[in-house]
Structure 1
Amino acid sequence: MNYNIKRSVSLYSYQEEYYLGKLDLEGCIREAAKAGATGIELLAEQMMPNFPYVTPEFKEQWFGWMDKYGTEPTCYDAFLENKIYDNRTLTLREQVRMMERDIKIAGELGFKTLRTLCSTPMDVIKGSLDCAAKEDVKICIEVHSPFSLNSGWADGYMDMILGTGTKHFGFMPDFGIFCKKIPDVLTAKALRQGASPECVKIVNDAFANRVEKGFTKIKYDTNLGRAHGEYVKANGMPELMEAIEKAGGNAADMNYARASFNYTWCDPQDIIDNIQYIYHTHAKCYNTNAEYEETSIPLKEVIAAYKKAGYTGYLSTEYEGNSLLNDAFEVDSIEQVRRHQEAMRRAIED
């Protein structure tokens, strides 16, 4: 059976090489295409000259690159900078204007989806829906760990979708919600920083136990700090920190224990249940080995859910392992993206 699941690359994946000047914007697009992707996800705020102004020269260059490398725009990554002033948060009107600015840029550059962060206030999203409909751009809130679908948090947004009847807002799952193991590159970094094998085992065992029994999901709350605090408490952080302390854990052990709560395991059935509201996907990855296995995320199991659901959108590689390596090693994001694209191809076509 043929599946119409397409593959994209978020240019965030190449942040190490981009920052060091090894790749420019065209180089990132070229490498994504060489890896087998047909879609490009852009961080315009970082990579577009003269942001937030789309110059005629850049627009011509952008679409020229799309033609040259056989790619198309998939998702525009927006960042709602609502704290640009020292003395106040932006007003609702100012935040909506900023969102509308990004929607218009996305539309002008050919993007059909726009990623907004999970911290984006619902009133800002509601206030931007008319602009999204006019530009035919779907606003997608990123379902980033520790958030999840089929949860109180997601229900809050689902109520808004159903209440407004909008076709221009939905979800963007991030594969970080499908971690069955703590990324091995994070574990290795913790050990390099002085964590003890005994404490690392305590943390890993606790994570495995959460996976086995099921995570308590985060609730909807306009106060994200409060929601997160309740989430980690419900999932055993106080008990874990106490166990590390009793084992004589040092600062590196404590940091590793806290970091383990950045990763979540959700049942891939969540994808099937919500597929009609999923318009794009961040295929997060931390380490894809030479056997084309993502070492913390069961890629085949997750992609099988997308196939069963009849998903026809993009899975966009988002490599985030660089920060777990670059304290000691030279990062090769190009190879990691290539491996992950091949791993996804195999899972889709299997």
Structure 2
Amino acid sequence: MGIKTAVSLYSLQDEYMNKRMSLEDMFIYLNENSVDGFEIIPDQMLHNAPYLSEETLENWHELVKKHNVKPICADVFLNTNLYNNRELTEAECVNILIDEIKMAHKLGIKLIRLVSAIPGFVIEPLLPYAEKYDVQLALEIHAGMSLDSPATQDFIKEMQRVDSPYIGLVIDAGIFCRRMPRVFNEYNKQVLGVNPKIVDQFNSYFDKGLDGRQAFGANHQIKPEIATIATQKDMPYIMLADGYENSPYSIMEQYWKYIKHFHFKLWEMVDGEEYSIDYYGLLKYLHDKGFDGYVATEYEGNRWTLPGNSIQEKEQVAAHQDMLRRHINNIESGDSQNV
């Protein structure tokens, strides 16, 4: 019961892609780092997902049993642009997700994270399958498409209408940034040549308790303090930098009963803490609200590793897990001083 830690295997994608770690190596790593559960992108690590062979399934269950690891979430995407001349029909979208539900059931996974842009119309036709196979479906609330996004609200309204325990939300902690990720800023300045004055401007928004969305006005037009100093080279940074949000925890209040799971974003561990997010504060909030579920480390600092440096996925994830357990133990013991 209570808050449990997990790791998204997406956090180890460079290790996996470059064949330094197999799936079994990852399970061993989870055990070595006392991780309670794990999350997987089946498309990334299981051949021919969601249409898994009997051999793949048998190997999966053998590994899970052998290493005593707990699969708790499957990350599912819905590519509506499979064809050049049209988007998928509603029926095609639903049928694809039915197959994902069936696969999760076969894998022993009871929660599917739906990528942020999945439309609300899939909920009602999928609900009988979610119930039959005992698999919950939860939309990811991610910075850039947070709770106030029209597409997200479309899903939420339908979620509230059906009001089923099988339909909910996954909250990504990237909506609770208190500082811009330092690794993101440094990569953009040192490698991509972004104007340091623009980076300083975005940092200043956070210094005032705001975030990168402050750089944009009506119709997502860039405000003059940015536009007057920006060049074309700076535009990718500007368009990504408003994806780090600084929201209060209270935005979860009205949706609390629907929250199933958390992605705990990690960009950089510095002196035992994640540089951008106050995880003690967030965990204290979840504890006080009585959250009973998993918080999964999701490392994305790998993509901002400076040239000449090795990607430190295993080290960063292990340090993040250590931090989470330390904070959870201190909060549960009432030791608020030793954070």
Q: Same fold per TM (> 0.5)?
A: yes
Q: Which amino acid aligns with 2:203?
A: N
- Residue number in structure 2 paired with 1:244: 226
User: Aligned pair in 2 of structure 1 residues 273, 309: CA closer, same or farther (>3 Å)?
Assistant: farther
Tell me the equivalent position of 1:228.
none
- Of 190, 203, 208, 2:188 maps to 190
Matched, 1:337 2:317: yes
The reply to whether residue 233 of structure 1 matches residue 217 of structure 2 is: yes
**d(CA) in 2 for partners of 1:34, 1:271:** 33
C-alpha offsets along residues 172-221 of structure 1, whole Å, 9 cap, x if unaligned? 00011111111000111122122343332122113433x349968xxxxx
Instruction: Return the offset for 1:167.
Output: 1.6
Aligned-pair CA distance for 1:348: 1.0
Question: How far apart are 1:246 and its partner, in Å?
Answer: 3.0
Instruction: Give 1:63 shift.
Output: 2.0
1:305 and 2:285 correspond: yes
Shift of 1:305: 1.1
Query: In structure 1, what residue type is equivalent to 2:310?
Result: E
Taking a change above 3 Å as real, the CA distance of residues 44 and 212 of structure 1, as seen in their structure-2 partners, is closer
Check the 8 A contact 2:211/2:245 in 1, yes or no: no
Identical-residue share of aligned pairs (%): 31
Q: Does the Cα contact within 8 Å between 1:106 and 1:112 map onto a contact in 2? A: yes
Distance 1:254 1:90, change over 3 A: closer
**Residues in 2 aligned to 1:95 and 1:11: alpha-carbon distance in whole angstroms:** 26
Whole-angstrom distance in 1 between the partners of 2:222 and 2:65: 53
Aligned mates of 1:246, 1:182 — CA distance in 2: 22
The CA deviation at 1:232 is 4.5
Give 1:253 shift: 3.6
Aligned residues between the structures = 329
Distance 2:77 2:246 in 1: 26
Counterpart in the other structure of 1:44: 42
What CA distance in whole angstroms lies between the structure 1 residues aligned with 2:149 and 2:139? 14
Contact 2:117 2:152 in 1 (8 A): no
Cα distance in 1 between the residues matched to 2:81 and 2:56: 28
Query: 1:73: Cα distance to partner?
Result: 1.1
Match of 1:99 among 94, 97, 100: 97
What RMSD over aligned residues (CA atoms) do the two structures have, in Å?
2.4
- The answer as to whether partners of 1:148 and 1:266 remain within 8 angstroms in 2 is no
Helix, strand or coil at the partner of 1:134: helix
Q: What's the CA shift string for 1:263-287, capped at 9, x where partnerless? A: 1011112345433211111111111
Q: Does the CA contact (< 8 Å) of 1:7 and 1:314 recur in 2?
A: yes
- Assess, with a 3 A threshold, how the Cα gap between structure 1 residues 308 and 344 changes in structure 2: closer, same or farther: same
Partner of 1:317: 297
Q: Is the 8 A contact 2:172 2:262 kept in 1?
A: yes
